[in-house]
Amino acid sequence: MSASHYSSKRWGMFWKERRKGEKVSAIAKKYEVSAQAVYKALNSKNSKIEDFLLSTARASRIRIYKFSNIEGFLWGYSPAFKADVYITYSPKTGTQVWHEHKGDCEYCDAFTECLWLLKTEAEERKLIIPSEIKSPTEIALFLFDSIKDKLRWNESDRTTSNQTSN
């Protein structure tokens, strides 16, 4: 079967497996398809995720530090808000833009939505949020720092010349 034959749902399942570190051959075996079909589907999905991340950053005028289409994650900077920005992609939550800030989450109209989105992102990434972290702002910082740690990104990557995908 060609990669174009697979539904977005199946591509999403392949991609989530790959993000967990599964090898293409193991994914193929699990879903009873050829490794070539999985590889083609993943390449197509990675390209789309990269497009989502980069076009969202461009539309939001974000200076890109780094991005990973495999993780569905972009780290950048918003000159307008003078803050770091994180763009996430997941099959369940879609593409989300997060501006780093010290929020008063308890009184925010978006409290419930942010909490659900962040907890869903953490679950999909198999990250356990420490019980003492309660507010969406704190959860976001934990989540994004954890993703950057996984990708081995650090403060020295804060330059727009490091626009890389991995």
- pLDDT tens track for 51-94: 999 999 999 999 999 999 989 999 999 999 999 999 999 888 98
Residues forming a β-bridge with 88 = 73, 96
* Domain of 127, in residue numbers: 61-162
Question: With contact defined as beta carbons under 8 Å apart, do 31 and 14 qualify?
Answer: yes
Q: In whole numbers, what is the pLDDT of the chain averaged over residues?
A: 87
In this structure, is residue 53 part of a structural domain?
Answer: no
Ranges 7-11, 48-52, 130-134: which has the least confidence: 7-11
Kindly compute the dihedral angle of the four CA atoms of residues 60, 66, 70, 72, in this order, to the nearest 10 degrees.
-30
On whether residue 54 sits in a domain, the answer given is no
Query: Are 117 and 148 spatial neighbours (Cβ–Cβ below 8 Å)?
Result: no
Quote the Cα angle for 53-27-140, to 5°.
35
What pLDDT, on a 0 to 100 scale, did the predictor assign at position 137?
92
pLDDT greater than 70 at residue 5? no
Give yes or no: residues 144 and 78 share one domain. Answer: yes
| CA gap 85, 80 in Å, rounded | 11
pLDDT above 90: percentage of residues in the chain: 54
Quote the pLDDT of residue 165: 55
Contact predicate 97/60, CB 8 Å: yes
Higher pLDDT, 125 or 166: 125
Confidence band of 8 (pLDDT split at 50, 70, 90): low
> Does residue 33 sit in the same domain as residue 82?
no
Taking the C-alpha atoms of residue 11 and residue 4, their distance in angstroms, rounded to an integer, is: 10
Per-residue model confidence (pLDDT) at position 99: 94
Q: In the prediction, which pLDDT does 1 show?
A: 41
Who wins on pLDDT, 162 or 137? 137
Total domains, the chain:
2
The pTM assigned to this predicted structure is 0.82
| pLDDT at position 111 over 50 | yes
72 and 116 in a common domain: yes
Q: Is the pLDDT of residue 37 over 90?
A: no
